Amino acid sequence: MINELLLMNGYGTYVWSAFSFTILCFTILYAVIKIQYSKEKEKFITKFGTLNSERAAIAKSQAINKEILSNTSIS
């Protein structure tokens, strides 16, 4: 059963490589986008930390900034 699934009448190499390539592309794309997202969020938090209390209050008055500062991590 396992051998049949792996070999697929001699087409196993083609089928498995096509599926593996797809999964690999998904993983790489997900990782790249996730890293970009984390970096931008980290940058935002660092910048926010350097603001004085008055500017921080102005920035915090925007709903979107509050959302970013709240835990939006998807993992």
Partner 1 sequence: MFKYFEPNKIFSITSKAPKYVLLLFIIVISIGLTEALILSPEDYKQSHSARIMYVHVPAAWICLGIFSMITFLSTIGYIFKIRNLFLISKSLAPSGFVFNIIALVTGSIWGKPTWGTWWAWDARITSMLILALFYLLYLIAWRIYDNDKAFKITSIISILGIINVPIIKYSVDWWNTLHQPASINILSKSSIHISMMYPLFIMTAAFALFSLLIFLMKYNTELIKIKNKGLDRL
The residues of the shown chain that bind partner 1, judged by CB under 8 A, are 5, 8-9, 11-12, 14-15, 17-19, 21-22, 25-26, 29-30, 33-34, 36-37, 40-41, 43-44, 47-48, 51, 55, 58-59, 62-65, 67-68, 72, 74
Q: How far is CA 47 from the centre of its chain?
A: 21
Least separation in angstroms between residue 13's CB and partner 1 is: 9
Least separation in angstroms between residue 56's CB and partner 1 is: 9
Q: Sign of the C-alpha dihedral, residues 59, 63, 69, 70?
A: positive
Report the SS3 class of residue 39: helix
